[in-house]
Amino acid sequence: MKFKKFSILSSKNQSGSDMEEVEVLFNLDHIISIKPIRISSPDKLLNGFWIRTTNGKKYRASRIPQEILSVIGEEYQGPVNIALEAEDQPFQ
């Protein structure tokens, strides 16, 4: 078995507006796929990953192990930089 540490985003409530980051160990032999996605929260937009496991569960990860990230691509991890015009800025 090969275990690696992932950072998973977990919703604190039913609406999914509050997310907390939890570190989880996954057995790499039980991961079916890892897909780059964008994860939105009320205050920011993140690059993240959709992880599917052999038991059918799906997880949103904000960080994955470096050896997997080097295969997928470094540009898919971290915050998303969006250049907004003045009229598109959120109200303060």
Domain assignment present for 68: yes
C-alpha radius of gyration, the chain, whole number: 15
pLDDT score at 52: 97
pLDDT score at 65: 92
Domain count along the chain: 1
Domain that holds residue 15: 3-80
pLDDT score at 7: 94
Domain assignment present for 48: yes
Instruction: Please give the model's pTM, rounded to 2 decimal places.
Output: 0.73
